[in-house]
Amino acid sequence: MTILTLNKQQLESKIGKMDESMQNKISMFGTPIEEVTDTEVLVEIFPNRPDLLSFQGFTRALITYFKKPGLQKYKTEKPEKDYRVIIDKSVKKVRPFTACAIVKNLKLNDEKIKEIIDIQEKLHASYGRNRKKLAIGIYPLEQIKLPITFMALPPEEIKFQPLDFPRKINGRQILSQHPAGKEYGDLLKNVEVFPIFQDANKEILSMPPIINSDKTGKINEKTKEIFIECSGFHLGYLKKTLNMIVTAFADMGGKIYQMEVQDSKKYFSPDLEPEKMIFSIENINKTLGLNLSEKEVRKLLEKMGITTEKNNALIPAYRTDILHEIDLTEEVAIAYGYDNFKPEIPEISTIGQEDKTAILKRKISEVLIGLGLLEISTFHLSTKEKQFKKLNVKEFHPQMIEVVDSKTENNILRTSLLSHNISVLSENLDSEYPQKIFELGKVFYSDDNEETQIGEKENLGISICYEKANFTGIKQILDYLMRMFEKEYEIQEIDNPSFIKGRCGEIMIDGKSVGVLGEISPTVLKNNKIKMPVASLEIGISWLV
């Protein structure tokens, strides 16, 4: 979840007082308020709107929504002499694209610089997928001699002083010594050459996506003109990101200049021309269940910063979220106000139907509750301890199904309910006895015939635990259940490490083994610190149908 923190006073000066009604309106715009303090306003920004991740982008959208509808136009100046970026062939394999711009006329101060770094970091983390997809560099133009080359070199040949580092080191050393190198070094794993931006004096500006140069890649209060680049793997994403940043700079008073990018084809960057998308009033009304006139739809789109020309919507060049006409439909819905829709339940005749297994489970639990049993509900994830070791099961590796990097101790899927029955008894030593419990739920098993190589089946586990709990007690429960479901069954003696030898049986229906029952072995009870006898059963319920 990405949270944007805004200066409350500055925000209020742009859009009005942050009272409860304003807070609600902002939430209803699709940017829910997380918290309002004396000095700050925290809003959540959804991942489809990275263009809102700056004070400028956010207030621009709200001002358009509340006060000044329509498309916000941004002017770009033609490139001046040497405003060029040459993409060298050497970099195409490791980091094929970049989108660049120059912004002049900036008046920066400490706070603005912090803001710029914040925009950059937020975009890196969210839209840039932690720099995996793209990285942004901002440089003081005064320190750079144009044109700029985007190229790649073997890491040992890349030598410069990275940002906030005392001396020159090479590309490889940056990855092992510089904090940013350590954090993002994985992004340059398995490549032979590292990408760099270099100016006309062969001065290295940066090594994306890791770090800028300390000399040429650090803006300060005196910086008036900057060079911005976004580099990465999908040109479309890079252009959008650049547009979000330059428009934010333009809102700070900057003047945007294009650069000529020399790739296999030449083109000018940035391109702030709005995108066009065809839309139909009829489709929008049908999806929303409204009856808006053409004029109304156009007006609503304007509130969202989208203007229209005939049946074309003109979408700001920094918006990333309009993939389809349906996205324009949502824009109309937000502008119309979610709270203004009249809910309706249509008359469609469909017949409700409960799932068969769900019915069976409900019936089984009715029978067991009638016997005074208490239903428990445990997790599908489990531990080796619980599942196997404490149950005295020694050979468990073949049946174990593990999950990757669990954040809790639970790192395998449960393969039996019996184990969880026992662990619940073990956690309730101070609860009054008799304890009689059951659980209905899924257990997992490996099966290469299944699409996911894992099978799932519904089981029933029952345990009784008190001074006189014994085989007879658990078999009586089984017997009652079987009679209620009109099933013939047999018990065949087997050995099972969790049960007392000679007091454990396999439950057989139509000659097939469907479950197990017996008295739990004192070894297992001791492993679980249980001081009362326990008798248990576990059975697959599909056999009861």
Partner 1 sequence: MAKKEQNLDNLIESLSPNERKIIPNLNEKTLDNLNEKLAEMDTVAVLRALEFLSNKKIIVLNQKSKKTIELGINGILYIKKGLPERNLINLIVEKSSVTIGEAKKQSKLNDNEFKVALGVLKNKVLINLVNGKIILSGTKEEICKKFLEEQFLESLPKSFEELQPEEKFALKNLKSRKNIIDIQDKKIVEFEVTELGNQLMKTDLSKAGNLIETLTSSLIKSGQWKGKKFRRYDITSQLPKIYGGKKHFVNQATDYAKRIWLEMGFKEMTGNLVQSGFWNFDALFTAQDHPVREMQDTFFIKNKSTNFQDKKIIEEVKKAHEGKIKGSKGWQQDWRAEDSEKVLLRTHTTCLSVQTLREIAENKEFPAKYFALGKCFRNETVDWSHGFEFNQTEGIVVDENANFRQLLGYLKEFFKKMGYEKIRIRPGYFPYTEPSLEIDIFHPIKKKWLEFGGAGMFRPEVTIPIFGRHIPVLAWGPGFDRIIMEFFKITDLREMYKNNLNQLRGMKVWRK
Site residues for partner 1, 402-431, by CB under 8 A, read: 402-408, 410, 413, 424, 427-428, 431
Query: Closer CB to partner 1, residue 94 or residue 371?
Result: 371
Checking DSSP bridges between strand 312-315 and strand 275-278, what pairing results, if any?
A: antiparallel
Closest distance of CB 127 from partner 1, Å: 11
Q: Could you give the CA distance from residue 448 to residue 463 in angstroms, rounded to a whole number?
A: 32
Query: Closer CB to partner 1, residue 367 or residue 491?
Result: 367
Interface with partner 1, residue 398, by CB under 8 A? no
Query: Closer CB to partner 1, residue 17 or residue 324?
Result: 324
Stretch near partner 1 under the rule CB under 8 A, chosen from 40-48, 70-78, 93-101, 136-144: 40-48
State which of positions 364-393 bind partner 1 (CB under 8 A): 365, 368-381
Query: Closer CB to partner 1, residue 73 or residue 324?
Result: 324
State which of positions 48-67 bind partner 1 (CB under 8 A): 48-49
Query: What does each C-alpha distance from 285 to 304, 313, 329 come to in angstroms?
Result: 17, 16, 8
Helix, strand, or coil here: 393?
coil
Checking DSSP bridges between strand 211-212 and strand 33-36, what pairing results, if any?
A: unpaired
State which of positions 323-342 bind partner 1 (CB under 8 A): 323-327, 329-330, 333-334, 338-339, 341-342
Candidate residues 12, 251, 271, 456; the one interacting with partner 1 per rule CB under 8 A: 456
290 in Cβ contact with 259 (< 8 Å): no
159 in Cβ contact with 259 (< 8 Å): no
Q: Position 123: which residue type?
A: L
Integer-rounded Cα radius of gyration of the chain: 33
DSSP string, 180-203: HHHHHGGGGTT-SSEEEEE-TT--
525 in Cβ contact with 536 (< 8 Å): no
State which of positions 14-33 bind partner 1 (CB under 8 A): 27-30, 32
Interface with partner 1, residue 296, by CB under 8 A? no
Stretch near partner 1 under the rule CB under 8 A, chosen from 87-95, 281-289, 298-306, 498-506: 281-289
State which of positions 470-529 bind partner 1 (CB under 8 A): none
Stretch near partner 1 under the rule CB under 8 A, chosen from 53-61, 116-124, 296-304, 354-362: 354-362
Candidate residues 105, 143, 161, 287; the one interacting with partner 1 per rule CB under 8 A: 287
Q: What is the dihedral of CA 523, 524, 526, 532, to 10 degrees?
A: -110
Interface with partner 1, residue 3, by CB under 8 A? no
Query: Closer CB to partner 1, residue 293 or residue 357?
Result: 357
Closest distance of CB 258 from partner 1, Å: 23
Stretch near partner 1 under the rule CB under 8 A, chosen from 77-85, 155-163, 242-250, 322-330: 322-330
Query: Closer CB to partner 1, residue 192 or residue 339?
Result: 339
195 in Cβ contact with 231 (< 8 Å): yes
Query: Closer CB to partner 1, residue 251 or residue 327?
Result: 327
396 in Cβ contact with 406 (< 8 Å): no
Q: Which residues are paired to 212 by β-bridges?
A: 206
Q: Which residues are paired to 112 by β-bridges?
A: none
Q: Which residues contact 450 (CB under 8 A, 6 or more apart)?
A: none
The rounded Cα 186 to chain-centroid distance in angstroms is 20
Query: Closer CB to partner 1, residue 217 or residue 232?
Result: 232
Name the phi and psi angles at 184, rounded to 5.
Answer: -110, 5
Closest distance of CB 320 from partner 1, Å: 10
Closest distance of CB 284 from partner 1, Å: 10
Closest distance of CB 148 from partner 1, Å: 26
Query: Closer CB to partner 1, residue 103 or residue 462?
Result: 462
State which of positions 133-152 bind partner 1 (CB under 8 A): 133
The three-state DSSP-derived secondary structure of 307-340 is: EEECCEEEECCCCCCCCCHHHHHHHHHHHHCHHH
223 in Cβ contact with 140 (< 8 Å): yes
